[in-house]
C-alpha cells in the first residue's frame, strides 16, 4: 500500500478529507505521518484522533534553511512517503527537500492557478484578491511542487462561481468544499499513475 505524509499549518480540514477518504476506501493509501510548522493547531488534533504520528518542525527554530531542511528530511525518512501532500502548509519547502522528492510532492491551492499564486497568496488573501479583481469565477488547483511558489505542473482544477455579495469568507467556504473533493481524487490518480 502506498504511503502518504501530509504537511499542514492550520485547522487541517484538507488533511481530514484525506483521512476520511482513506477510511472510506476511496484512497488506497496509508497516512504515515503529519508534519506541521506550528503547534496547538487543528491538524494536530485530527492526527491524534486518527492515531497518526506527528512532527512539529518550526522553521524559526533553525538558524539556516539548511538546518530546517535537514529536520524535514529526517522526519520524512522516518515516515518514508511515496507521496507528500501539502494540505494548507504555509511554509516554503526548502529546495533540497523538493529535489529529493521531485515529482512526489503535491499542493492544494485555493485559486485557479496561475492566477493568485506565488509568495503572499494563501488563505483568505487569495479570496480577497479574487473579489477585489471582480472575477466571476475562481476555484482550486492541485499541482506538483517545484522550487517556485505555486508554479509546478497543474494536475487538476475545479471552478467555483463568484456571486454578487460574496465575502472572502463565503467564497472560501465554497472553494474549500471543492478542495475536499478534488484533493483525495488527485492523490489517488497520482498514486495509480505511479503504480502503472
Positions annotated as catalytic residues are 109
The helix/strand count (H/E) of the chain reads as 6, 7
| Lookup: cell for 63 | 538558524
The residue among 156, 160, 164, 166 whose CA lies nearest residue 178 is 160
Question: For the CA atoms of the chain, what is the radius of gyration?
Answer: 16
The residue among 128, 124, 127 whose CA lies nearest residue 90 is 124
Residue 7 gets which letter from DSSP? E
58 torsion bin: left (phi>0), alpha (psi -120 to 50), beta (else): beta
Amino acid at each position: 500500500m502506498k504511503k502518504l505524509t501530509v504537511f499542514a499549518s492550520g485547522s487541517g480540514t484538507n488533511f481530514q478529507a484525506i483521512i476520511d477518504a482513506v477510511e472510506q476506501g476511496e484512497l488506497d493509501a496509508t497516512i504515515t505521518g503529519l508534519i506541521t510548522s506550528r503547534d496547538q493547531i487543528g491538524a494536530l488534533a485530527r492526527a491524534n484522533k486518527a492515531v497518526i504520528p506527528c512532527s512539529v518542525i518550526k522553521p524559526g527554530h533553525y538558524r539556516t534553511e539548511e538546518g530546517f531542511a535537514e529536520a524535514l528530511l529526517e522526519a520524512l525518512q522516518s515516515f518514508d512517503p511515496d507521496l507528500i501532500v501539502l494540505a494548507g502548509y504555509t511554509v516554503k519547502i526548502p529546495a533540497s527537500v523538493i529535489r529529493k522528492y521531485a515529482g512526489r510532492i503535491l499542493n492544494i491551492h485555493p485559486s485557479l492557478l496561475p492566477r493568485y499564486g506565488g509568495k503572499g497568496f494563501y488563505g483568505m488573501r487569495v479570496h480577497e484578491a479574487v473579489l477585489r479583481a471582480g472575477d466571476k469565477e475562481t476555484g482550486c488547483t492541485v499541482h506538483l511542487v517545484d522550487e517556485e511558489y505555486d508554479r509546478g505542473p497543474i494536475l487538476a482544477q475545479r471552478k467555483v462561481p463568484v456571486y454578487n455579495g460574496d465575502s472572502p469568507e463565503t467564497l472560501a467556504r465554497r472553494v474549500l468544499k471543492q478542495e475536499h473533493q478534488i484533493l483525495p481524487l488527485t492523490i489517488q490518480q497520482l498514486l495509480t499513475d505511479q503504480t502503472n
